[in-house]
Structure 1
Amino acid sequence: MSRQCLIVRGGWPGHDPVAATDLFIPVLRRHGFVVDVEETPEVYSDDATMARYDLIVQCITMGSATVDEIDGLRRTVARGAGFAGWHGGIIDSFRNSTDYLQFVGAQFAAHPHAPEDRGHLDVEPYRDYTVRVQAPEHPIMDGVSDFDIRTEQYWVLTDNLIEVIADCELQPGDGDEWHAPVRMPVAWTREWGEGRIFVTSLGHTVDVLKRPEVARLIKRGMEWASR
């Protein structure tokens, strides 16, 4: 019997939610998923529809959702569906919803510019950093090695219910207000009721999502999270 996946996408267009999610639809289909796509979170409030899904992949940066929509998403995952996503599409969603924040367990706070670019608003806030494997025994990380990347480096606020499987250090530079390296999660998992959640802070651009290390991480994360 085929598994069912729901992709919900939209929000801020700068993260290219259509192209980003389209990148993974063929992968999901090859892994036996029937994929439905919604352009708003309205479907989350429809319990009968949501009960069909084994995996929900969300790519909505900022945007808004009603209380009923967030409640429906939380119930669906608590009953055993998986929830997965990347970057602002999952940890910078629905900023006005504390119930969503509690559910997902992490919130984008900032992406500081590299020291040499501070104050230049026309320059992307990119930094060079190393993604470090922290749970090599986890099935998502099996065979994955540390890798270097240049992209946005998220400052993330989290709780201790998450299991960090990859991290990085956000190093202070001249003029930064913090005075020691700060450990930041890059990929993590979370149990929610009977369901599983996978998140990575990587994925600012489609080019980053196409990197073999990142694409493999997300593919495995979606598979792990699915019912």
Structure 2
Amino acid sequence: MSNGKKKALVVWGGWLGHQPEEVAGLYRGILEAEGFEVEVSDTLDAFADKEKLLSLDLIAPNWTMGQIDGGLVQNVLAAVQAGVGIAGTHGGMCDSFRTNVDWQFMTGGQWVAHPGNDGVEYVVNVKHSSSPLLDGIDDFVVKSEQYYMHVDPAVEVLATTRFPNPNVPGPHTTNKSVDMPVVWTKRWGAGRVFYCSLGHQANIIAMPQVTEIMRRGFLWAAEGKARADAAAAQGAGAYTGMSDSIV
């Protein structure tokens, strides 16, 4: 890139109840504060130019309950496999396209329920794991939708929440308690995938803890592109020794 900046693409749309435009604006602010050149688009056609996607460092999708042409998904998958990072929140990344299993396979999970709907108070428990990405962030309370998800067992779980919530009745409460992933990372080829299930609306993304989680996630995901490019230039093929350091 001529200006030396990392490039990010934010794509928003779908169900307007998630305030996708407002959340996209918060994404843009976080990224620009970190020196990214940011393009924001409100159309899935932003995924049509595969070569352009391959030139990015980061894709930040924020599209809920949509329908998408399979070819557009394959372009995104190819870009991430080549090293472009992808990071997002809530339904904007893991309830984007309910009928596209390829998207779900890449992102690492799919929303299936939020017992009690919006306004449920719950604790986000930060895990001590092999990743330092959330180091220094303490457990915190959120009042929002509590996402129950189907999750790829290959993900690295960085934060969880407990189900069932004692304040929320439902048929799921007769099962044993489970720690549901809230924040995770995974790999897709040479690319880095980061997800946080928080963010029903913009006020949740604007919480200091969530803003910091996403700042770190964006940086971590975007870092993978340079590492993958460097490994390819050295003839090393797909880079597999990527650390979880925050740039």
Is the 8 Å Cα contact of residues 8 and 39 (structure 2) preserved in structure 1? yes
What is the CA–CA distance in structure 2 between the aligned matches of 1:17 and 1:219, rounded to whole Å? 18
Q: Tell me if the contact between 1:136 and 1:142 (Cα under 8 Å) persists in the aligned partners.
A: no
Counterpart of 1:116 in structure 2 is none
C-alpha separation between the residues in 2 aligned to 1:150 and 1:108? 18
User: SS of 1:213's equivalent?
Assistant: helix
Amino acid at match of 1:130: V
- Please state if 1:139 is matched with 2:132: yes
Task: Say which SS state the counterpart of residue 171 (structure 2) adopts.
Answer: coil
Is residue 8 of structure 1 aligned with residue 11 of structure 2? yes
Which structure has more strand as a fraction of its residues? 1
* Match for residue 32 of structure 1 among 35, 51, 60: 35
Q: 1:85 and 1:35 mapped to 2: Cα distance? A: 15
Give distance in 2, aligned partners of 1:53 and 1:171: 40
Q: Counterpart of 2:245?
A: none
Matched, 1:192 2:188: yes
Aligned length: 217
Q: Is the 8 A contact 2:61 2:93 kept in 1?
A: yes
The C-alpha deviation readout for 1:147-168, integer Å capped at 9, x for no partner, is 1111110011011111100001
Structure 1 counterpart of 2:38, one-letter code: V
Structure 1 residue identity aligned to 2:217: G
User: Are 1:214 and 2:207 counterparts?
Assistant: no
Task: Kindly provide the amino acid, as one letter, of the partner of residue 144 in structure 2.
Answer: T
Paired residues of 2:124 and 2:182 also in contact (CA < 8 A): yes
CA distance in 1, matches of 2:154, 2:13: 27
Counterpart CA distance in 1 for 2:171 and 2:204 is 28
Native 8 Å contact 1:45 1:71 kept in 2: no
2:7 corresponds to which letter in structure 1? Q
State the partner residue of 1:120: none
2:24–2:40 contact (8 Å) kept in structure 1: no
Q: Could you list the runs of 5+ residues in structure 2 that have no partner in the other structure?
A: 226-247
User: Could you tell me how far apart the structure 1 residues matched to 2:130 and 2:50 are?
Assistant: 36
Stretch moving more, 17-26 or 209-218? 17-26
Give the letter for the 1:97 counterpart.
N
Give me the whole-angstrom Cα distance separating, in 1, the residues matched to 2:205 and 2:70. Answer: 31
In structure 2, the partner of 1:204 is 200
Aligned-pair identity in percent equals 35
Letter paired with 1:100: W
Contact 1:84 1:197 in 2 (8 A): yes
CA distance in 2, matches of 1:144, 1:44: 34
| CA distance in structure 2 between the aligned counterparts of 1:30 and 1:209, rounded to whole angstroms | 16
For residues 55-74 of structure 1, the aligned pairs below 5 Å read 55-74=58-77
Out of 148, 156, 180, the position equivalent to 2:149 is 156
Per the TM alignment, residue 213 of structure 1 is displaced from its structure 2 partner at its CA by 0.6
**In the alignment, structure 1 residue 95 sits paired with structure 2 residue 91:** no
- CA–CA separation in structure 1 for the residues paired with 2:128 and 2:67: 34
- Larger deviation: 182-191 or 135-144? 135-144
Amino acid corresponding to residue 109 of structure 1 in structure 2: V
Counterpart of 2:170 (choices 155, 165, 176) is 176
* Contact 2:125-2:140 at 8 Å conserved across structures: yes
TM-score (structure 2 length as normaliser): 0.84
Deviation at 1:172, TM superposition (A): 5.0
Instruction: Return the TM-score normalized by structure 1.
Output: 0.91
**CA distance in structure 2 between the aligned counterparts of 1:108 and 1:55, rounded to whole angstroms:** 23
Which stretch shifts more, 71-80 or 144-153?
144-153
Q: How many Å separate the matches in 2 of 1:223 and 1:42?
A: 25
Root mean square deviation, CA, Å? 1.5
Structure 1 Cα separation of the partners of residues 149 and 119 of structure 2: 15
- Provide the C-alpha distance between the structure 1 equivalents of 2:160 and 2:201, rounded to a whole number of angstroms: 19
